[in-house]
Amino acid sequence: RSQSSDMLPWHDGKLWLPVHQFGDIVELIEMPCQHPLQPEQAAFLLGVLRIHANYLQLLYEAERDMLTGLLNRRKFDTRLYELLANRDGEHVLALIDIDHFKPINDNYGHIVGDEVLLLTAGLLLRHIGQQGQVYRYGGEEFAVLLQHNTSHARQTLDLLRQQIAQHDFPQVGHLTISIGFVEIDQQGLPAHVVEEADKALYYAKEHGRNAVYGYHELLLQGLISQHDSNDGG
């Protein structure tokens, strides 16, 4: 393997251009090149790579929550619109709220509260993995979009609830989460999907917390009332 003076790898008629972000290589661009670059050519390409890396950084920051690093509310809204428009398979929206979060801030301070949010975000990412996407919805509330049917989603979410309850948070100890979920089906508007999941979450918060409830199950049992899908916009 030969390299230019600026350490751009060249081999067998190809130049390999690594794009760095957060200290890691996030992209590797393959470029046909018959011979190693001259120093001025390498310097030019490195400048282009830095511009590209800065662009990727801007894109990352535009769609990420600054505290937790999770996808943000803007990215969530975009993805929910896509799911309603494309109907590509079964998906479930779950809204997750940390129970009794305000006393954590009041008793331990906002630094500890932020640590709880960070650790919870990490646990959500670890548990959900490739099954869906995790978002910081706002405050102590998170949203998860799962590529599951209702029964599979319930199992995944209940296991998540158990894992959070068993985790030992520094200074705080143990805490719980409440979860409301709904199938993304014929709601029409993203606001209606969120409203249905939020109703199930509110029911969980009002009936003991540390629980998982599905909107349609509650509806069939007459425990909540259906929203008027013609209202709002």
Question: 71's torsion region: left (phi>0), alpha (psi -120 to 50) or beta?
Answer: beta
| Alpha-carbon gap, residue 171 to 168, rounded angstroms | 9
What letter does residue 129 receive in the DSSP assignment?
G
| Alpha-carbon gap, residue 185 to 201, rounded angstroms | 18
Q: Is 140 an annotated catalytic residue?
A: yes
Q: Are 84 and 185 in contact (CB under 8 A)?
A: no
Q: Are 17 and 3 in contact (CB under 8 A)?
A: no
Q: Are 131 and 147 in contact (CB under 8 A)?
A: yes
Strand partners, 97: 141, 178
Determine which one of 27, 63, 82, 140 is catalytic: 140
| Residues 6 or more apart in contact with residue 127 via CB below 8 angstroms | 156, 159, 160, 163
Cα Rg, the chain, nearest whole Å: 23
User: From residue 42, how far is each of 8, 27, 31, 196 by CA, in Å?
Assistant: 7, 18, 13, 55
Q: Are 28 and 17 in contact (CB under 8 A)?
A: yes
Annotated active-site positions, please? 140
